[in-house]
A and B are shown apart, each in its own frame.
Chain A
Amino acid sequence: MSGVIASSAVEHHPGPQSQERGQRAVFCGLTSIIWLHRRIQDAFFLVVGSRTCAHLIQSAAGVMIFAEPRFATAILGERDLAGMADCHEELDRVVGELISRRSGINRLFLVGSCPSEVIKLDLETAAAKLQAKHENRVRISAFSGSGIETTFTQGEDQCLKSTVAELPALASGTSNLVVLGTVSDIVEDQFRRLFDDLGIPNVHFYPGRKASDLPAVGRGTRLIAAQPFVGETARALIERGAEMINAPFPLGAEGSKAWFEAIAEAHGIDSARVQQVLELPYQRAKRAVASHALKLEGKRIHFLPDSQLEIPMARFLSEECGLSINEIGTPFHDQLMMHGELSRLPHDVRIVEGQDLDPALSRVREARPDLTVCGMGIANALESEGLRTKWSIELVFSPVQGFDQAGDLAGLFAKPLVRESILEVGSWS
């Protein structure tokens, strides 16, 4: 990949050894709206879909946080489908209603769903028309979060990719750093402090806290991913001239250190300075991880496919917490994004791409790992069979990146095991 800054050659895990096709149990891309709307505080997400889509978002969010949230669903009815109502006119009406209600909204995303895709409702054209109508008031664009095209975290990738064309061109002769993928505000602030200390200027987090926080992109742009599920956006940025820095994800003490080191190296920062800046947070992270690692050491973990974070999490747990990995399931594999991870993974770990739910569950039952990382719908079903689980959705919803979250991250995995050792009721063990 020409746009990738190569790392020194290391022997790699080959990637998934097998593909599975069958029943999947992963949410669709609409789910990404739950964290995207919290990250981008002046954006509104309008799903054009069915009652199922509305019900999915509200059920996956688990709690109804806001009385009037910054997302909603325009539910298609029979009149829309039978062509008795013109969908574009209807959308016009609904968007008009929304914009007049919500004055704080500066950005509106129309989000496509399976029904809107199947009836070939062209939301991009609709967005362009609506934009003309609401020019100077709100920016409007479209992306798809449909379950026939995206899984769970891929919704964020589609959302960001849809805004790449809007990014201003970077003035030639200048340079900047784009950190790609949602991180929580507190992680952004920690990272900014470290970038300052390292002497790395012009850092942009994408997506930012405001929809209008759009980084410039061009030949002088260096790109680093903070999340593994933003591959298409990364490619679109590379196409616009950005150079991608190859690194593992900033998860755990080692992952965070390698991530910052790779960025610093790409910026030609003196390595003594890098070590000096990173040493304190790195040691602190090691200490924080260590106390949990005691409880995790030697345990066997199994990942069912869900958030795309499976490979980086497995790397962190095997590298820093002494877990052995039974199997890693991943909804899909993106070599560009996982390049920096695979070199750190034990070579014989079994990676399965795709899913066939029932046979996959049978493998879990047979192996009886100490911990299974899985989607929310499956967790209690496995617990009732005496298997301990960790829901993967929490890994996306809570701040886990960076040195000062490394201990929390290990703690998320240790918690279920600690609980098992405490409880004197029930039938775990």
Chain B
Amino acid sequence: MELTLWTYEGPPHVGAIRIAASMRDVHLMLHSPQGDTYADLLFTMIERDGQRPPVTYTTFQARDLGASTAEMVLQSLRESAERFKPQVMLVADSCTAELIQDQPGALALGADLPVPVIPLEMAAYTRKENWGASETFYQLVRGLLSRQAPAPGTERPQRGADVRPSVNILGPTKLGFRCRDDVVEIERLLASMGVDVNVVAPLGASPWDLQSIPAADANVNLCPEVSDLTCSWLARTFGMPTIQTIPMGWGATRDFIAEVAEVLNLDIDVDAVGESRLPWYSRSIDSTYLTGKRVFVFADGSHAIAAARVARDEMGFEVVGLGTYSRERARDVRAAAKEYGLEALITDNYLEVEARVQELQPEMVLGTQMERHIAKRLGIPCAVISTPAHVQDYPARYSPQMGFEGANVLFDTWVHPLIMGLEEHLLHMFRDDFEFNDSVGPSHLGSEGEGARSLNESGEQICEGNIVWAFEAEKELKKIPFFVRGKARRNTERFAEEQGISTIQVDTLYDAKAHYSN
């Protein structure tokens, strides 16, 4: 039993839903109780998807246990096959269903459905979301491709001289960090190298598309959390080489170009492929103040490792802490941390991360939304670089993290909170000015300057021009949420003035509220 306040990852079946939701013509039948349907909102609210993820939940209840839960599985399968007509049906248990052992996968295979079935084992009590995504993607690819596999030991045919080189981009998903834009950026980058993209998966692919994965020359392992397992299976089974460099940052993007060229046997001048503004922005005189800023990096494995490199080599920061919540990536992150002379922090316990940040007192945190909260509490500037992320990290604008444009975006988004940090500093300096009193929030939250006002010592009445607030009314006002309190105060005073009321009572407050409500 493990005490958890906030969790970095959801359960493994949420990873399975991410794969299904990323693809076309795939449906997932999840054997689960009704509360598990909350997963829909991750997609419709956080990622702002315009449709529910393609999942049918059986939503069994206590009264169904021991009697009809298996029947519910069959009914859900038949109905969803009929209604959604997917090319492939995935079948999985959530944590509760795993305990009642209906074996929905076996039921589905025996149910004579008009659609191929791929059963998943989600290991809800030992694994987590990214593992679930990786496992689902792997089972799907293996399930669809193993019949095409050449006999072991077969040489992979050489690409013909007149055939354009091509790769698959594997790993990007819904609810991944900036996957939508990273795919576009990497496709552009590859296009400028004369390399075609054969399949992007899971994001936007159908099961039909997956069938043609072996037609490419190599696989780009863009999100190892999701695609590592699949890439190594494709390497073993089809002899397809894997491109491992994650093109995040200026240097890594150039390394990626070099690796693609090498794997595909292309003669390419890295300098001719593209350029980023990051190197010049980082060298320009204005950036001097970035020098040696102490940063703490905590993220999923790939983003943590890539961000540390950018932080030190391209921004001139000092990396004072590096870690990940992903135990599957612990080895890689430990190895990376050594290069910075650090001991990696491997934990999914939010409180441990908080304690480490507190101890290290960095000048900036690069992390997930969890670290954003830690940083906010400790008053440290922070930029979000990885999932788990909240709705504002799924922006409307084009905002990749990878490739040359991604490097520009990294520069801007990491420098921005530091300027905010400077502002924070000014707030401290001017703390005693009337405009900057105690409860002043960050300037971008449009503070009402509420802090300057309070009940006076005797607790009697507060004067505001000619209008007086009765003690009870002032107290009532305090119960209104701070972000609308200023407006409520102004409206009430305006109302009182118009009505010729000199002392604001509780009723005046509500009369004003009614008056202005629309």
- Residues of A at the B interface (CB closer than 8 Å) are 23-31, 48, 50-56, 58-60, 62, 64, 67-69, 72-78, 80-81, 85, 87, 90-91, 93-94, 97-98, 114-115, 117-119, 146-149, 151, 185-186, 189, 193, 280-281, 284-285, 287-288, 291-292, 358, 375-381, 383-384, 404, 407-408, 411
Contact = CB atoms under 8 A, between A and B. Distances in A.
B510 A148 contact: no
A72 B514 contact: no
Given A67-B374, A69-B5, A284-B510, A59 B41 contact: yes
Q: Which 7 A-B pairs have the closest CB atoms?
A: A28-B35, A377-B40, A384-B50, A147-B35, A147-B33, A291-B518, A114-B96
Contact of B1 (A29, A90, A287): A90
Given A56-B38, A288-B513, 8 more contacts: A24-B37, A25-B34, A50-B96, A55-B38, A98-B3, A118-B96, A148-B96, A407-B517
B76 A23 contact: yes
A23 B36 contact: no
14 contacts: A23-B58, A24-B59, A29-B35, A50-B95, A59-B10, A64-B370, A73-B4, A115-B99, A118-B96, A284-B511, A292-B517, A380-B48, A381-B50, A384-B51
A198 to B, nearest CB: 16
B11 A64 contact: no
A185 B407 CA distance: 49
B8 to A, nearest CB: 10
B141 interface: no
Given A80-B1, A115-B99, A185-B479, A59 B38 contact: yes
Nearest to B50: A384
A358 B11 CA distance: 25
A301 to B, nearest CB: 19
Interface string B486-518: 000000000000000000001100110111011
A28 B10 contact: no
Contact of A50 (B5, B9, B124, B479): B124
Interface in B17-51: 33-42, 44-45, 48-51
Contacts of A51: 4, 7, 9-11, 95, 124, 128
| Highest count of chain A CB atoms <10 Å: which of B56, B57, B59 | B59
Given A147-B33, A148-B65, A189-B476, A378 B50 contact: no
A72 B50 CA distance: 32
Given A376-B41, A379-B44, A381-B52, A118 B4 contact: no
Nearest to B372: A64
A285 B41 CA distance: 34
B14 to A, nearest CB: 7
B198 interface: no
Nearest to A288: B514
Given A56-B38, A284-B514, A148 B62 contact: yes
A151 B126 CA distance: 27
Contacts of B511: 284
B499 to A, nearest CB: 14
Nearest to A150: B35
A358 B3 contact: no
Contacts of A80: 1
Nearest to A75: B2
B373 interface: yes
Contacts of B518: 291-292, 407, 411
Contact of A377 (B52, B60, B128, B476): B52
Nearest to B354: A67
A60 B39 CA distance: 9
Nearest to B479: A186
Contacts of B280: none
Contacts of A24: 34, 37, 57, 59
B100 interface: yes
A280 B94 CA distance: 54
A215 B148 CA distance: 71
A114 B513 CA distance: 44
B513 A64 contact: no
B377 interface: yes
Given A23-B58, A377-B52, A67 B517 contact: no
Contacts of B128: 51
